[in-house]
A = this chain, B = another copy of it.
């Protein structure tokens, strides 16, 4: 286990408190980040129905998943055998029967079939069919939308979590150093990515890195007009821009970053836009301190870039921490208008300022940081300027 048992117990205690406030007696949590947060469970097993189930009465939650993953529960969690159950394998990819039939049987057998059951309707790995089958199997339960209850519990990090993220940031620095170092005209994009992966997982002599929950995103040339392209095996050419978005990862905690480079003398509009973005980031970071709100941070950015006649519709950041596919965002607080989440010490965010969808491409730069009493403190030290390789 990555944290002391007491830290997991405290998380579960906070979870039960919010459940009670919301009138939820049983919480079914299938988000792999949230399952990890509550129990330590860590396995690439979210492609089939699994959940951690928290009740108001019991100290230990229940894990239900696929049989082949049972040993993963033993190896990564503190759960006793009595709180672990596995559905039979013929339910994999079965058009007629579904693992949630087993979940319903287990909940009934454990006296939870008539409770108020909360589910997160936005969880990627709890499908509409999962809900249909579970509800059909528990006709006497009352179902409620739990919202992103556990995700919100993750917003403020413990000191132990901050320490792990600080280690992840050492990997982030190495990744960006590799990006700046290796990209050159004539190199294939895939060969650059090989070096980036190496920096990401080989890590430092003291510790290695885990897998990033998003493949390295590296828009190049005309691809810079959109943020979510990966790479090809074409060669870099002089006169084009590239940016890299990926994360250093330690014990599933992600510290993501975006940096941009240009091969050869950059066009003036790219230089100007980069300058505006950097100024916007600086102004926004100054406002990112305890007591201010997420929307105040974004407003400082917006004001700064408006002087350069740049507009940006999309948000400029979000809370970060644990990550499993498909993304490292916590899906809670966002840096954007109308988000009045009040910043507190030990919140951790990724401010990502991309200007995309321009006819000439775009530019993206970001900073992962944490909130301290004294203001925003960057996780990683990587020069923020457009990196020009002439």
Contacts and interface: CB of A to CB of B under 8 A. Distances in A.
A387 B26 CA distance: 47
A191 interface: yes
Interface string A46-89: 11000000000000000000011111100100000000000011
B202 A190 contact: yes
A202 B228 CA distance: 20
Contact of A228 (B44, B92, B337): B44
Contact of A313 (B72, B88, B123, B222): B88
A95 interface: yes
Contacts of A119: 128
Contact of A121 (B71, B128, B191, B208): B128
Interface stretch (A8-16, A107-115, A156-164, A325-333): A325-333
Nearest to A98: B122
A141 interface: no
A372 interface: no
A131 to B, nearest CB: 5
Contacts of A180: none
Interface string A22-56: 00000000000000000000111111000000000
Contacts of A92: 314-315, 334
Contact of A325 (B217, B225, B325): B325
Contacts of A227: 68-69
A226 B88 CA distance: 15
Given A89-B314, A201-B190, A356-B68, A327 B47 contact: yes
A352 to B, nearest CB: 11
Contacts of A125: 124, 326
B211 A233 contact: no
A231 B145 CA distance: 35
A93 interface: yes
Interface in A92-148: 92-93, 95, 119, 121-132, 145, 147-148
A82 B190 CA distance: 34
B44 A230 contact: yes
B90 A336 contact: yes
Contacts of A88: 313
A71 B357 contact: yes
Nearest to A94: B334
Given A44-B230, A189-B208, A70 B357 contact: yes
Given A68-B228, A128-B127, A233 B215 contact: no
B188 A194 contact: no
Interface string A187-212: 01111011001100111000111110
28 contacts: A44-B214, A44-B229, A44-B326, A45-B228, A47-B124, A47-B326, A67-B314, A67-B357, A68-B226, A68-B356, A71-B223, A71-B226, A72-B228, A88-B313, A89-B336, A93-B334, A121-B129, A121-B132, A122-B129, A124-B124, A128-B131, A188-B208, A191-B202, A193-B208, A194-B198, A194-B202, A201-B231, A211-B216
Leading 8 A-B pairs by shortest Cβ distance: A190-B208, A71-B226, A208-B233, A211-B215, A121-B129, A197-B197, A325-B325, A89-B314
